[in-house]
Structure 1
Amino acid sequence: MATESKKKKNTSFFKFIKWFWILFLTGVLSVVLIFFLASEGFFGEMPTFESLENPQTNLASEIISSDGETLGKYYLSDNRTPVDFEDLPENIIQALVATEDARYYQHSGIDAKGTLRAVVFMGSRGGASTISQQLARLLFVGVRSKNTFETIIQKIKEWVIAIRLERQYTKEEIIAMYLNTYDFNYSADGIRSAAKIYFGKEPQKLKIEESAVLVGMLKNSSYYNPRRREALVFNRRNTVLAQMAKYGYITQAEKDSLQALKMEINFNPESHSEGLATYFRMELKKFMKDWIDKNPKPALEGERNRYNINLDGLKIYTTIDSRMQRNAEEAVVAHMKRLQAEFFHQNTPDRNKTAPFIEENPGEADRIMERAIKNSPRWRIMKREGKPEKEIRESFYQPTPMTVFDWNSDSREKDTVMKPIDSIRYYKSFLRTAMMSMEPQTGHIKAWVGGVDYKHFQYDNVKQGARQVGSTFKPFVYAAAIDQLRLSPCDVLPDIHYCVEANKYGNPEPWCPKNSNGKYSGEMLTLKQALANSVNTITAQLTDKVGPTAVAAMSKNLGLTGNLPEVASIGLGTADLTVYEMVGAYGTFANQGVYVKPVMVTRIEDKNGTVLYEYVPETRDVLSSDVAYAMVDLMSGVTQGGSGTRLRTTGAEKYNRMYDEIITGYPYAFTNPIAGKTGTTQNQSDGWFMGMVPNLVTGVWVGGEDRATHFRTITYGQGASMALPIWGLYMKKNYANEEIGVSKEEFERPEELSLNVDCSDTESESDDLIDTDDDLDF
Structure 2
Amino acid sequence: MNRRRVSLFREYCARWLARIAPLCTAGSTIAIRGFRGALRRLRHPTRRGIVLTLAALPALFLLYALALVPFTPGIEDIRKARVDRPALIVSADGRLIDEFKPSNREWVSLGQISPYMVEALIATEDRRFHEHSGIDWTRTASAALHTFSGDRQGGSTITQQLARNLYPEEIGRAPTLARKLREAITAFKIEAVYSKDQILETYLNTVPFLYNAYGVEMAARTYFGKSARQLDILESATLVGMLKANSTYNPVLNPDRAVQRRNTVLGQMSKYGKLAPDAYNWLKRQPLNVNFTLQTAQPGAAPHFSAQLRKWLIAWADRNGYNIYADGLVVHTTLDFRLQAMATQAVDWQANQLQWIANEAWNERTGCWPGNGLFQAFIRQTPDYRAARDAGQSDPAAVRKLARNPAFVRALCRSKTQVQAGFVAIDPRNGDIKAWVGSRNFSDAPFDHVQQARRQPGSTFKPFVYASAFAGGARPSDTIVDRNVAIPLTGDAVWRPTDAEPPTGRPMTLRDALAYSRNRVTAQLMQKERPGKVARLARAMGVRESPLEAVPALALGTSPVTLKEMVSAYSTIVNRGAYIEPRMVTRIEDRDGKVLAEFASAAPEQALPAGAAQTLVDVLRDVVSRGTGVGIRTRFGIRADVAGKTGTTQDNTDGWFILMHPQLVAGAWVGFDDGRVTLGNYWGQGAHSALPMVGAFYDMALRARVIDPGARLGPESRPPRTVRAERQRQFLFWRF
Q: TM-score range by the shorter chain?
A: 0.5 to 0.7
Give runs of aligned pairs for residues 484-503 of structure 1, distance below 5 A: 484=472, 486-500=473-487, 502-503=488-489
1:489 shift after superposition = 1.2
Q: Does residue 292 of structure 1 match 2:310? A: no
2:694 equivalent in structure 1: 727
Counterpart residue type for residue 690 of structure 1: I
- Match status 1:746 vs 2:712: yes
The match for 1:89 is none
Question: Within 2, Cα distance between the matches of 1:564 and 1:463?
Answer: 16
Quote the sequence identity (%): 31
Q: Give yes or no for the alignment of 1:423 onto 2:391.
A: no
Matched, 1:641 2:626: yes
Aligned to 1:689: 657
- 8 Å CA contact retained: 2:515, 2:628: yes
Q: Report if aligned partners of 2:418, 2:672 keep a CA contact under 8 Å in 1.
A: yes
**Cα distance in structure 2, aligned partners of 1:36 and 1:78:** 42
- 2:667 aligns to what SS in structure 1? strand
Q: Residue 724 of structure 1: CA displacement?
A: 0.2
Instruction: Decide whether the 8 Å contact of 2:656 with 2:669 is kept in 1.
Output: yes
Secondary structure at the aligned position of 1:457 is classed as coil
Query: Which amino acid in structure 1 is aligned with residue 696 of structure 2?
Result: L
CA distance in 2, matches of 1:763, 1:515: 28
Partner of 2:121: none
Contact 2:422–2:449 (8 Å) recurs in 1: yes
Distance of 1:635 and 1:540 partners within structure 2: 18
Q: 1:595 aligns with which of 576, 579, 582?
A: 579
- The Cα of 1:611 is off from its aligned counterpart by 3.0
Q: Deviations over 1:12-63 (max 9, x none)?
A: xxxxxxxxxxxxxxxx9xx9799859x99xxxx9995323369752211100
CA contact (8 A) 1:711 1:717 kept: yes
Local SS of the residue matching 1:467: coil
- Spell out the pairing of 1:190-339 with structure 2 (5 A cutoff): 272-293=297-318, 295-297=319-321, 307-339=322-354
Are the structure 2 counterparts of residues 65 and 353 from structure 1 closer, same or farther at C-alpha, using a change threshold of 3 Å?
closer
Cα-to-partner distance string for 1:413-464 (whole Å, 9 max, x where unaligned)? xxxx995775343222111000000000100000000000101111011000
Partner of 2:35: none
Q: Aligned pair in 2 of structure 1 residues 687, 51: CA closer, same or farther (>3 Å)?
A: same
Describe the shift of the 1:34–1:556 C-alpha distance in structure 2 as closer, same or farther (beyond 3 A): closer
How far apart are the structure 2 equivalents of 1:606 and 1:34? 32
Contact 1:689 1:699 (8 Å CA) reproduced: yes
Tell me how large the CA RMSD over aligned residues is: 4.2
Partner residue in 1 for 2:402: none
| Equivalent runs, 1:466-477 vs 2, <5 Å | 466-477=454-465
* Conservation of the 8 A alpha-carbon contact between 1:316 and 1:601: yes
Q: Is the 8 A contact 1:62 1:313 kept in 2?
A: yes
Give the counterpart of 2:551 among 548, 551, 567: 567
Q: What's 1:513 paired with?
A: 497
State the TM-score, normalized to the length of structure 1.
Answer: 0.56
Which one-letter code corresponds to 2:520 in the other structure?
Answer: T
| SS of residue matched to 1:340 | helix
State the distance in 1 between where 2:325 and 2:611 align.
48
SS at 1:317 equivalent: strand
Distance 1:34 1:481 in 2: 82
Partner of 1:210: none
**CA 642–51 in structure 1, closer or farther in 2 if over 3 Å, else same:** same
Query: Matches of 1:671 and 1:512 in 2, distance apart?
Result: 38
Q: Using the alignment, how far apart are the partners of 1:695 and 1:309 within structure 2?
A: 32
Q: State whether residues 546 and 560 of structure 2, in contact with CA within 8 Å, keep that contact through their aligned partners in structure 1.
A: yes
TM-score when normalising by structure 2: 0.59
| 2:244 matched residue in structure 1 | none
1:580 to 564, 569, 584: 564
State the distance in 2 between where 1:459 and 1:673 align: 34
Q: Report which of the two has the higher share of helix.
A: 2
The one of 71, 90, 114 equivalent to 1:64 is 90
1:461 match: 449
Gaps of 5+ in 2: 1-7, 21-64, 107-165, 168-187, 195-295, 393-397, 400-404, 725-736
C-alpha distance in 1, partners of 2:447/2:679? 22
Q: Any conservation in 1 of the 2:364–2:410 contact (CA below 8 Å)?
A: no
Change (3 A) 1:532 1:68: same
User: How has the CA–CA distance of structure 1 residues 763 and 440 changed in structure 2, closer, same or farther, with 3 Å as cutoff?
Assistant: farther
CA distance in 1, matches of 2:454, 2:463: 19
Note the alpha carbon deviations across 1:492-540, whole angstroms, 9 max, x for none: 111111222x24xx253232211123x1122221111100111001100
Contact 1:488 / 1:757 at 8 angstroms: preserved in 2? no
Contact 1:470-1:681 at 8 Å conserved across structures:
yes
2:522 aligns with one of 523, 529, 539: 539
Amino acid at match of 1:473: F
TM-superposed CA distance for 1:716, in Å, is 1.1
Q: Which runs of 5+ in 1 are unaligned?
A: 1-27, 81-138, 141-152, 160-270, 298-306, 383-387, 398-416, 650-666, 750-755, 765-778
SS at match of 2:73: helix
Change beyond 3 A, Cα 1:741–1:340 = same
Q: Deviations over 1:211-253 (max 9, x none)?
A: xxxxxxxxxxxxxxxxxxxxxxxxxxxxxxxxxxxxxxxxxxx
- Distance across 2 between alignment mates of 1:34 and 1:627: 77
Deviation at 1:638, TM superposition (A): 0.5
Aligned length: 481
In 2, the alpha carbon distance for the partners of 1:565 and 1:496 equals 25
